[in-house]
Amino acid sequence: MRIAFGLEYDGTDYVGWQRQKSGTGVQALVEAALCKVANESIDVACAGRTDAGVHATAQVIHFDTDALRSDRDWLMGVNSNLPDDICVNWVKSVDDQFHARFSATARRYRYLILNQAVRSALLHRRTWWIHEQLDERAMQTAADLLLGRHDFSAFRAAGCQASTPVRAVTELRVSRRRNCIEIAITANAFLQHMVRNICGVLAAIGRGEKAPQWAGQVLQGRDRKKGGVAAPAHALTLVGVDYPRIFKLPQTACNDDFHS
């Protein structure tokens, strides 16, 4: 039997999604909780391997099991064995054709910048504080240059293991609500650190350090060393994963509006 879960987690205290030899990954805790409920060894696959410090409101995983449990038993049982900063939002039985990673058609991330003179005591774990006034219109002009299917080598981490640097970005929107700037980005898939590196470039343009055209020059140059500094991980959240309707997965409620 194949089961799919929708997860949310605060990534602050973890080395990322993936199980690691040193440090605690979210995956390790989820698998341990599943093993207790299923009374058997469980390995899970996820939609996207978030980096250390990155959060999620809509991570999707699947696993195979011989254990017979109701959806409610899976939900309540696993959540009772997870720490407070990791939670299962929904459970659904799926057929063997479903794969959390390979069946996904798009991933959506949200990056938050707190743009005000004084830091925030309440939002410091969810936003990148930049005290200089940012020009969100210039940032959007730059963002438009990154839309489409491109070689994103200039925005990938040195240790990225993806077989190809080509990705299709279908949305890259910069918007301001009072003192908070939101960068929303959707793509078929992402390279390691790709979103953070894009946000770093947009922030430099927002500060006026570079012209908007610089984003396109970095993209075409395909050289990570010329792409500026990566934005901090703690302001990044995985907020959505899209799948074909045939799988009929629940819609995950978005509990990430920290700046309202």
- DSSP codes of every residue in 176-238: EETTEEEEEEEES---TTHHHHHHHHHHHHHHTSS-THHHHHHHHHT-GGGS-PPPPGGGEEE
Does the active-site annotation cover 51?
yes
- Quote the tokens at residue 48: 């996207």
Task: Match 């077989």 to its residue by tokens.
Answer: 163
How many whole angstroms separate alpha carbon 202 and alpha carbon 215?
7
Task: Match 């770093």 to its residue by tokens.
Answer: 200
Q: Which of 51, 64, 66, 242 is catalytic?
A: 51
Q: Specify burial of residue 14 (Cβ count, 10 A radius: 0-12, 13-18, 19+).
A: buried
Point out the residues that are catalytic: 51
